[in-house]
Amino acid sequence: MSRRTAAALAVPLTLLFALSGCALLGGGPEKEPADGTEEVTDDGSDALGPALTDCVDGSWTADLEDLTAQLAASLTSSGMTITGSSGTGTMSLTIDGAGSLDFINDAVLQIDADLGGGLAMTVTQHHVGSAVGQWAWDGSAAADDASGHMLFSGMDNSSYTVDNTITVNGESSDAPIPIPSDAITSGMAVGCTGDTLTTKPDGGPFTTTWYRD
């Protein structure tokens, strides 16, 4: 296998890898946010509001090792031979129960893979920047005291960047990943109990676990 072929194989890995670090940068069709953060609906979601809002309110830090382990498992299931994974740095989330949100990432994620034919590849991504805006509960989604669906509006992720490096047998090349300004257009599933928060962006393959600061 040539290094050029190896680089081509790295493309889908790189894109999937980016999704793991962009924990809140979920794509998908844009959906209008519900009015207010404690909307009561007629679908049995009358618990949507105070209890869940009180739980998510605060500052959270992501479990990066768990996130990269999910990525490694996903790549392994697709047929790749993953030899290592790591996540260092910090990814933080501050949720204000009144309706504002601040996501800050300064994390380095790394995946090592054996491509066969004597080729070893390492993909390293440094996610830096923030996304700030407003959130509200989705009054049309099923919810209870411990889970619901969060929608976003007015999100600004203009400072968010992903520096991506692919190394094959010691030879490195940069492969920047542009983050569109409208990357945050939908929402995410949220679970919260005590000091543990889980989030999964709509259409995203990974669930991020956060611990209260």
pLDDT in tens, 103-112: 999 999 898 9
Q: How do 147-156 and 187-193 pair as beta strands? A: antiparallel
Indicate the SS3 state at residue 77.
helix
Angle at 56 between CA 87 and CA 105, to 5 degrees: 30
Q: Specify whether the CB–CB gap between 17 and 26 falls below 8 A.
A: no
pLDDT tens for 47-101 read 445 789 999 999 999 999 998 898 889 888 888 899 999 999 999 999 999 999 9
Neighbour count for residue 12 (Cβ, 10 Å): 12
Q: What is the DSSP letter of 9?
A: H
pTM of the complete model: 0.80
From its phi and psi, is residue 151 left (phi > 0), alpha (psi between -120 and 50) or beta?
beta
The string over 145-168, giving b where at least 16 C-beta atoms fall within 10 Å of a residue's C-beta and e elsewhere, is eebbbbbbbebebeebbbebbbbb
pLDDT tens for 161-197 read 888 888 989 988 887 777 776 666 678 999 999 999 9
Domain range summary for the chain, segments of one domain joined by +: 3-212
Strands (E), 138-160: 147-156
Q: What is the pLDDT of residue 15?
A: 52
Dist CA 70 CA 82 (whole Å): 12
Q: Which residues pair with 60 in a beta bridge?
A: 93, 212
Task: Report, in this order, helix, strand and coil percent for the chain, each rounded to 5.
Answer: 20, 45, 35
